A and B are shown apart, each in its own frame.
Chain A
Amino acid sequence: MKVRSPLLWPLAGFVALLLLNAVFNPAFLKITLLDGHLYGVPVDILVQGSRTMLVALGMTLVIATGGIDLSVGSVVAIAGAVCAVLLQDGHGLALTLVAAVGAGVLAGSANGLLVARLGVQPIVATLILMVAGRGVAQLLVDGQVIIIASAPFEFLANGFVLGLPLAPLLVAAAYVSAHLLLRRTALGLFVEAVGDNEQASRFAGLAAARIKTLAYVFCGACAGGAGILTAANIRAADAYRAGENMELDAIFAVVVGGTALTGGRFLILGTAIGALLIQTLTTTMYNLGVPPAVAPVPKALLIIGVALLQSERTTRWLRGLAGRKEAA
C-alpha cells in the first residue's frame, strides 16, 4: 500500500477552495504591488489568518497530548488588556510584549497545573479559565475598551517589511522555531508518546505530567502572542470581543490539519494549512456577502466533511463501495 501524506486532504481542501473562489471571482487570487506593499485577497487571508494560526500552533501540542484548551480566546483578551494598560501607563514596547506573553504563560501554567498535576479533565480545567479569563481581562481594562495609540505596536499587526506583511512573517517564524524545538530535540516525540499512551509513557520513564504542563504553557504563550496581534490589529483592547470563538477556530484548524483529537501524532504544517483553510472560508463568505450570522453553517459543513474523511469507519465504507463497484 502506498503511504499517503496526511497533509493531502487539508491541502486538497485548501486548493479546492481557492480554485472555487477564483472561478467565481477572477480577481480573488490577484496580488498587486501598491506603494511597494503587496495587496490582494490572498495577502489579506494571510494577515487575518495569522492570529488563528498562532493560537492553533499552541493548540496542536495540547491536542497532541490528548487534551484541549478552551481558554485561548480569553487569554487573547487578557494579553490584549495587558498591552493596553502597560502602553497607556507609558511603559516601553519590549516590556509590554514580554508581559503580554508572560500573562499567557501564566494562564497556561494554571491550566497545566489543573490538568497534569491535579488530574482535572482538560475540557473542564480550561473551561474555568475560558469563563474567568474574560472577567480578568475586564478587570484589567476596568470594563472599558482602551484605545492604543502606539505606532510601533500597531506596526506588529499591520506593518509591512520589504513589501511583505509583518504579522504572517512573525507567525511563520513562530512555526519554524516550534518545529525546530520539537523535532530537533526529543520534545516532539515525548509529546506524541504521552498523547498516544500516557500510562505507557510513564512506565517508560517519561515525566508525563511535566510534558503535558509544558504543552499548556506553550499554548498559553501562543495565545498571548495572538493577543498582542489582535490588540495591535484593531488598535484597542476589547476585553469583551477580542479572541471570541478563537478556541473553536483553533481546534478546527488543528483537526482539519490532520492531528487527531485523541492525541498522539501531530502535524504542525497541517495545522497551518487548516488555519488558512478556515480563514479562506471566512473571507470567501465575507466576499460573497453571506451575513455573519449564517457564516458558521458552511464552516460546520466543512468540518463535518473533513471529520468524515478522517474517520476510519467512513473510509472503510467508501473503500467498500469502491470495491463493490470494481467487482461489479
Chain B
Amino acid sequence: MADFLTVLSEYDIAGAYWVNIKLTFFAGIFALVLGTILAMFRISPVPSLNFAGSTYVNILRNTPLTIIIVFGIAVLWPVLKVEFSDVFAVNFFWLGVLGLTVYHAAFFCEALRSGVNTVPAGQAEAARAIGLPFLDSARLVILPQAFRGAIAPLGNVVIALIKNTTVVAAGSVAEISILMREMVENESNYVYLIFLTVAVGFVIIVVPVGLLATYLSKRLAVSR
C-alpha cells in the first residue's frame, strides 16, 4: 500500500481532475446559455424556430459525443481551420469545450423544456384570468414554477456533463482518463487500486451534486 501511495504521488492526479472541472465549468455555462436559447425556440409559437430547435436537439442527442469530439480535433481544426490558440494544449481544450457545449446544450434544452411542461395549464389560465399580460404571467407565475420543476433534470444533465468530460480524451485533452491510461500502462500491477482511486474521485465529485439537486428539487418543489 505504501508502494502504491508513492506511485500515486508521481502523478498529478489533482491537476488532471482540475482540467475536468474546468471543462465542466466552461462547457456547463456555454451549454446552459445555448440550451436556454434552444428551449425558447422550442417553446415559442413560431414554426420556423420550433423546427430549428427540435432539429438541433434531435440530431445532437442522437449523435455519440465521441464523434462530436473527434470531429472537433480531426475536422474543425485541421480541415476547417477553426483555431482557438497557437498552443496545442489550449486549442484542444477549447475544441473540447466546444464539443461538450454543442452536445449538452441539447440536453439542457430538454431539461428546461421539461420544467416548463411541469406547469399545469390552469396556472397560465389563472394568470390570464386575473388580467396579467404575457410578460407578467411568464415572469410571476409560469417561469418560477418551471424553473423549480427543471432543477432535478438540470442536476442530471450537470452530472452527465461532469462524467462526459472524460470523453474529451478523444480530443487529446490531458484530463483524468488520459492520465489514468498512462498510469495503468506504467504501473499495471496497481490497475485495481488506480481504478478505485480515479472512480472514487468521481464519486466524490458527482454524489454531492446529485444530493444537492435532489435536496433543492424537493425543497423548492411546488406543492400541487
A and B interact: no
